[in-house]
Structure 1
Amino acid sequence: MNVGQAIIDATTEVFSTMLMVDLEVGETVEGKDGDIPANITSMIGLGKDIRGMLAVHCPAVVAKDITGSFLGMEVTELNEDVKDAIGEIANMVAGNMKVAFGEDGKNIEIAIPTTIIGDSFRTSGMAGAHRVAVYFTMNNEVFLIELKYICSSGD
């Protein structure tokens, strides 16, 4: 399975169907960690055949735009509504990834999202995990969907 393409398909489907937003797909980066343009990150743990973490990393402006699209109103601050909205995006993208991996014969369990807000933070995951990150643009602002994983039954 092409994990980068699965992230692209899952994310663009969520944004087009739930937010009525067409995203511009940017670079797919595999392996190396890089700068993450984020003030808010929502992470979901994955278990069973694919173990790891799916994360949605957004700068504040993107997180507020996403939330505003969900709520149908302008959002001016990073508040509980924003945390909930980005968590729900992570949940829906992870759900779509679960379906894609299921079609590839892999069973995935998805945890409840955890969302953090801040100006300077790092996430770390399991040693030896694969990393695939895809950059997207919404309203001329960049955000990132990242999957760090270990596949228990081969890649």
Structure 2
Amino acid sequence: MTEIEKQLDLAQEIISATQEVFSSMLMIDVTGEDISASGRSVIQSNMTSMIGLGGGVRGMLAVHCPAEVAKAITGGFLGMEVEELDEDVKDAIGEIANMVAGNLKIAYANGGVNVELAIPTSVIGKSFRLSGIGGAIRHYVSFQLESGPFWVELMYVLS
């Protein structure tokens, strides 16, 4: 276990950060479950938005959503029905990832680790696989909305 992991419960930080974002931006309460220990979980995602992490932590934070969940989240942001995975959806899920990563950046800073954030990148498709840094530490947290599940993933190595 790394020093930062001794100081921070990163799965709980992901849960708290995501709850804060959904509560303040969408007025929705979500609960999260750390599924990191259950091994590599299969995530059924049509939409993934990622934020690169740099500085004292290298890696990424990703929000993975099935199409219906991504459209529901976007509809909550925009206050209207969303019919397709379009630029509005990419922007909305990218902003969710950005805000969750921003909250984690604060948690890391409180633990003495400086983290820099990149610009969100979004991927939409029916069949894609994300790979990352070999030997990285990964945390997966599953969340549930009325429209279905979504996941937040943190993958990192300490610099």
TM-score category, normalised to shorter length: over 0.9
Could you tell me how far apart the structure 2 residues matched to 1:33 and 1:43 are? 18
Contact 1:133 1:144 in 2 (8 A): yes
Residues 31, 108 of structure 1: alpha-carbon distance in 2 compared, 3 angstrom cutoff: farther
In the alignment, the residues of structure 2 paired with residue 2 and residue 24 of structure 1 have an alpha-carbon distance, to the nearest angstrom, of: 16
* Alignment-derived partner of residue 40 in structure 1: 47
Could you say if the C-alpha distance between residues 80 and 140 of structure 1 is closer, same or farther in structure 2, counting changes exceeding 3 Å?
closer
Q: CA deviation at 1:106?
A: 0.6
Quote how far apart the aligned CAs of 1:34 are. Answer: 2.2
AA matched with 1:109: E
Structure 1, residues 79-132: CA drift from partner, whole Å, max 9, x if none? 110010000000000000000111111100000000010000000000010000
Shift of residue 25 of structure 1? Answer: 1.8
2:148 corresponds in structure 1 to 141
2:30 aligned to 23, 39, 53, which one?
A: 23
SS, match of residue 36 in structure 2: strand
Q: Give, in angstroms, the shift of residue 30 of structure 1.
A: 4.0
* Structure 2 residue 146 is the aligned partner of structure 1 residue 128: no
TM-score, structure 1 length as denominator? 0.94
Moved over 2 A (4+): 30-34
CA RMSD between the two structures: 1.2
Listed as ranges, the matches of 1:1-155 within 5 Å are: 1-30=8-37, 32-152=39-159
Of all paired residues, the percent bearing the same amino acid is 59
Q: SS of the residue aligned with 1:132?
A: strand
Aligned equivalents of 2:147, 2:122: Cα separation in 1:
23
Aligned length: 152
Shift of 1:151: 1.5
SS of 2:35 mapped into structure 1? strand
2:56/2:158 contact within 8 Å kept: yes
Following the alignment from structure 2 to structure 1, what is the Cα–Cα distance between the partners of residues 37 and 133? 15
User: Residue type matched to 1:147 in 2?
Assistant: L
CA gap 1:140/1:146 in 2 versus in 1, 3 angstroms: same
Q: Partner of 2:27: helix, strand, or coil?
A: coil
